[in-house]
A and B are shown apart, each in its own frame.
Chain A
């Protein structure tokens, strides 16, 4: 089974702090993703990466950056945390599109619930 591990289940940070959320996957997947989940808003894509050192903005990248120095690890960085970034953050990985042109599913970690005070 694919395992996606997020380093923290719960984090509490102060406004203005720099925050790192770490995610590691063990299946050699090319694609990795960061979503945030908020009540009434569903899942919103922040950033994704389709290869080492490659990244693309998702739907809500403002206030965030990412780093992918190794294939298995994808980090989300809040440069200066704000209270409106209090949320559940979900990391996911995927094989991408198979040789048959079929979209592979995403495999999710258990999430990090971040509170910014």
Chain B
């Protein structure tokens, strides 16, 4: 069946460092791909999305490109801030009703 695999955390970075969180997927057909962010004590918020191959989703300085050839959707940011500390979830939307989530990656940014 369809699945999403994320790199395990926590990922600890200094402020202004470059961020990459890896996400790969297994799916038939042409799924949509999403990144969600969860700040402490809150629900999940949609960060960005891509609906077809080679699409680049971007928001708040974060980017991810839908790579069908490598079945990947890695999240990147050029310069992280302390306020980016959160848990990040990669998710896949296929032809069913639900989204399939990765296990989440905790990011900790130190001043």
**Majority-rule SS of A interface residues:** strand
Contact check, A111 vs B97: say whether CB atoms are below 8 A apart.
no
Quote the shortest CB–CB distance from B30 to chain A (angstroms): 9
Contact check, A50 vs B97: say whether CB atoms are below 8 A apart.
yes
Contacting residues of chain B (57-111) with chain A, CB-CB under 8 angstroms: 89, 91, 93-95, 97-99, 101-104
| Given known A43-B89, A102-B32, A103-B32, contact A96–B45 (CB-CB < 8 A) | no
Q: How large is the interface on A (under 10, 10 to 19, 20 to 34, 35 or more residues)?
A: 20 to 34
Quote the shortest CB–CB distance from A53 to chain B (angstroms): 16
Q: How many A-B residue pairs have CB under 8 A?
A: 56
A61 contacts B by Cβ under 8 Å:
no
Interface size on B, residues (CB 8 A): 24
Contact check, B43 vs A103: say whether CB atoms are below 8 A apart.
no
Give 3 nearest A-B pairs by CB, closest first. Answer: A103-B93, A108-B43, A103-B32
Interface residues of B (CB under 8 A from A): 31-32, 34, 36, 41-46, 49, 51, 89, 91, 93-95, 97-99, 101-104
Question: Can you name 26 A-B pairs with beta carbons within 8 Å?
Answer: A42-B102, A42-B103, A43-B44, A43-B89, A43-B104, A45-B98, A48-B97, A48-B98, A58-B98, A96-B97, A97-B95, A102-B32, A102-B51, A103-B51, A103-B94, A103-B99, A105-B46, A105-B99, A106-B44, A106-B99, A107-B46, A109-B43, A110-B42, A110-B43, A111-B42, A111-B43
